[in-house]
Structure 1
């Protein structure tokens, strides 16, 4: 049976005739069209569903109306329920670093503003973003990317983070320039063991681009897929690790980072459909505000020690002069 034919019959039965149904239906349709499609339904079923004048349902029409009435009657409520679910359900895909370091605090803040908010989290790789968004597996994805996305998707840049090396506290170098002066061979290769993510990862690709542009060669000695594992291997003395300077994330446990500002930074973005659900637009605004706060805190934290050192130097100068 054609569902549209059933819908037309529902309105005819509900309002007591074709003319009344045409006047009361939520969308425009001509009376001859309704009559023709009802006739097709009756022909398909092989029965008469109602008497035209005066209007009354036949026994077969009563059976059909009783079966389809609950479905069509509940459609408006069903639509409202789905809209309500969509307005309070955010399907979020993100890279592991974002999932671990930044989303817990942001989600708690958002839930305090919208108590009914439900967030589904999914770890997502760069090459999966477009497919997940188009198929609505995720509403939005946050992470590091290289390149652009197809027209149905919108990409908002959140921040750019410098590449870095993760090293032990007692590592003798404090700058990338010092690393090169100590560990660069004549052929452009570096003699330090490198611990890095797989070659397809965004950070490794960006790092390799920087090496190539600088005429350097640095082969990965230990390849791991998780930055927590990189940290552990560096801590145990297997080499230096590839890393990024993430705002708001402190490196501890006897390790520190050496920024590589000579290489292009990694772009962190939010990717979502060009016509997003309201909850996605709200999340993007909250996310951008959170990123601004992180950058401001990081900038203030970096400036504070410098100010303290200047004050201390001035104090020592005053004492020496006296």
Structure 2
């Protein structure tokens, strides 16, 4: 018997049908895929497990559910219990900028309460972090939200960061609207790689205004102000405290562009360590962006 097929059957039986089960399975899977794998389970067992319309378990289905339910219903509970018995360790994934500039004081505050706490840090994009959460590889993610978080994940909004344009201090530009009025923007665009949330949000805003301005130079966030100061073009980033401090550049707001939303994601059941981490993150966000 395929254990994955058995797990899917457990959710179908527990929630009274395939369409309802899909909304509760703690990872992304489509209804047709569940149907196909349930059929494979029935073929493997040589018996029908439930009637589809209306939904009703057969005698064989009831027997199989009674067998599977004690294990799958307690899987999250035993998982949390085993994690709590190990040496205290938090696994956090976050955007590089968050890891470098904002996580160190969070870690310091957490270690004041848990001096023996160990950390494992990694970086990635939202989809990667959500997969790591579902697979139990990390405890919490801090990520820009490109899409709605996957089912089964909890979300704590942290802040919405407006996009800004970085221009040389000597530039004649007084507003971004002067750029959009040009028939063709001659200044090269300096931005993060195309897959980054900031770049995606900026390009989406340009598309809505029917403005074409492809990236000419990809660079990490901390280097963008320096490249702008050196005359390589104009840069786009978010209005983050301390990010743009170069004396030879200035910042122009980008009205009409959607902000980049930063959020913390985790998969329940949670642990006291993750609860403490979330509380510290929320307090730091309130300190940095009290009006956000």
Moved more, 146-155 or 241-250: 241-250
Match of 2:237 among 238, 243, 257: 243
Q: Does 1:229 align with 2:223?
A: yes
Structure 1 residue 230, shift from structure 2 partner: 2.4
Report what 1:146 is aligned to: 146
Q: Which residue of 1 aligns with 2:279?
A: 285
Deviates more, 1:88-97 or 1:107-116: 107-116
Partners of 1:172 and 1:251 in 2: CA distance: 20
Segments of structure 1 that go 5 or more residues without pairing to the other structure are: 1-78, 300-322
The answer (yes or no) to whether the contact 1:165–1:260 under 8 Å persists in 2 is yes
Q: Say which SS state the counterpart of residue 217 (structure 2) adopts.
A: strand
User: Following superposition of structure 1 onto structure 2, how do residues 58-73 of structure 1 map, counting pairs within 5 Å?
Assistant: none
Question: Do the aligned partners of residues 274 and 218 (structure 1) sit closer, same or farther apart at CA in structure 2, a change above 3 Å counting?
Answer: same
For 1:55, the equivalent position in structure 2 comes to none
In structure 2, the residue matched to 1:117 is 117
Give the Å deviation of 1:240: 0.7
How far apart, in 1, do the equivalents of 2:100 and 2:167 lie? 21
Secondary structure of the 1:286 match is helix
Tell me the distance in 1 between the aligned counterparts of 2:81 and 2:212: 59
> What's the counterpart of residue 126 of structure 2?
126
1:257 to 238, 251, 254: 251
The answer as to 2:79 corresponding to 1:85 is no
TM-score scaled to structure 2, two decimals? 0.67
Q: Report what 1:195 is aligned to.
A: 190
8 Å contact kept, 1:163–1:265:
yes
The aligned runs of 1:1-322 (5 Å cut-off) are 83-85=84-86, 88-181=88-181, 184-185=182-183, 189-224=184-219, 226-247=220-241, 249-296=243-290
Contact 1:166 1:242 in 2 (8 A): yes
If asked which structure has higher relative contact order (CA below 8 Å, sep 6+), I would say 2
Structure 1 residue ranges, 4+ long, deviating more than 4 angstroms after superposition: 79-82
Q: Which residue of 1 aligns with 2:74?
A: none
Partner of 1:142: helix, strand, or coil?
strand
Distance in structure 1 (CA, Å) of the matches to 2:115 and 2:208: 50
Is the CA contact (8 Å cut-off) linking 2:109 and 2:280 kept in structure 1?
A: no
Q: C-alpha separation between the residues in 1 aligned to 2:142 and 2:272?
A: 17
Distance 1:81 1:204, change over 3 A: closer
Which deviates more, 92-101 or 160-169? 160-169
Task: Note the C-alpha offset of 1:161.
Answer: 0.5
Long gaps (5+) in structure 2: 1-79
CA distance in 1, matches of 2:158, 2:97: 15
Paired with 1:126 and 1:235, the residues of 2 have a C-alpha distance of: 31
* Aligned CA-pair RMSD: 2.3
Which structure shows the bigger proportion of residues in helix conformation? Answer: 1
Q: Deviations over 1:153-189 (max 9, x none)?
A: 11221110011112222222242224435xx21xxx4
SS at match of 1:190: coil
Q: Distance in 1 between matches of 2:250 and 2:136?
A: 40
TM-score (norm 1): 0.61
Name which one, 1 or 2, has greater alpha-carbon Rg.
Answer: 1
